[in-house]
């Protein structure tokens, strides 16, 4: 039987084959090492959970915390004027129609206290907690006169028939008296000059100098 002679591999071919074998062993070893490391990581305390948590933390954005509002409360006192009132009283010692202020009016003062709440420096609430009149007002008083001077009664008639409103001469008592020599139509006339001491009932004192029928 004739034997087929074996072909000898060249030195270059042998080197390539050897290198490929070494590379295959290295790749297999790397895969085994990676699997081993993963198994060790999973078996270690907090292995995969810690890894997942670290990954999640790295991917979640950081949130800015919401600032807490600053709330302050204080009491605020506000003074306010209290207007005075007016009153009047009758005074019989003063003539009617006359008015005099006997007591001057004066405004008072009250204090309102508010509880003010501010949020971040802005007023958000105002509550009235007290209202006190600290200075009472003074009422203005005006006196109103009511006195009326009584009318003097006319003088009594002269027994001699002369009008008592005239003196120094006898002016007759009649429904009307005119100065003698004038344009009057009577029915009675007075000839002379008389002094008016009461009312010039006949209008004999034309120039109102106190003398009747003076020419």
Which pLDDT tens digit goes with each residue over 72-106?
999 999 999 999 999 999 999 999 989 999 999 99
Residue 82 and residue 138 in one domain? yes
The whole-number pLDDT of residue 135 equals: 95
CA distance 213 to 192: 7
Task: Specify the higher pLDDT residue, 96 or 54.
Answer: 96
Domain boundary among 106, 130, 147: 147
How many other C-beta atoms lie within 10 A of the C-beta of residue 123? 9
- Return the half-sphere exposure (C-beta side, CA atoms, 13 A cut-off) of residue 44: 10
Give me the CATH number covering residue 139: 2.20.230.10
The whole-number pLDDT of residue 215 equals: 77
Mean pLDDT of the chain: 78
- 125, part of any domain: yes
Q: What does the pLDDT average to over 22-49?
A: 46
Residue 149 · residue 173 · CB < 8 Å? no
CA distance 123 to 91: 56
Q: What does the pLDDT average to over 166-173?
A: 91
pTM as predicted? 0.39
The whole-number pLDDT of residue 133 equals: 95
- 32, part of any domain: no
- 89, part of any domain: yes
């Amino acid at each position: 039987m004739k034997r087929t002679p074996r072909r000898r591999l060249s030195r270059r071919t042998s080197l390539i084959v050897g290198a490929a074998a070494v590379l295959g062993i290295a790749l297999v070893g790397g895969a085994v090492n990676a699997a081993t490391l993963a198994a060790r990581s999973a078996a270690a305390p907090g292995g995969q959970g810690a890894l997942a948590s670290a990954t999640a933390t790295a991917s979640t954005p950081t949130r800015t915390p919401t600032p807490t509002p600053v709330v302050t409360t204080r009491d605020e006192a506000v003074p306010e004027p209290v207007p005075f009132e007016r009153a009047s009283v009758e005074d019989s010692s003063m003539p009617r129609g006359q008015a005099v202020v006997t007591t001057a009016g004066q405004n008072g003062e009250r204090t309102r206290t508010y509880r003010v709440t501010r949020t971040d420096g802005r007023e958000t609430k105002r509550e009235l907690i007290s209202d006190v009149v600290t200075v009472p007002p003074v009422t203005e008083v005006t006196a109103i006169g009511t006195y009326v001077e009584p009318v003097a009664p006319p003088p009594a008639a002269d027994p001699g028939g002369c009008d008592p409103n005239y003196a120094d001469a006898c002016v007759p008592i009649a429904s009307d008296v005119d100065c003698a020599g004038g344009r009057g139509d009577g029915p009675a006339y007075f000839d002379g000059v008389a002094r008016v001491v009461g009312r010039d009932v006949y209008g004999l004192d034309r120039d109102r100098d106190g003398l009747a029928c003076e020419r």
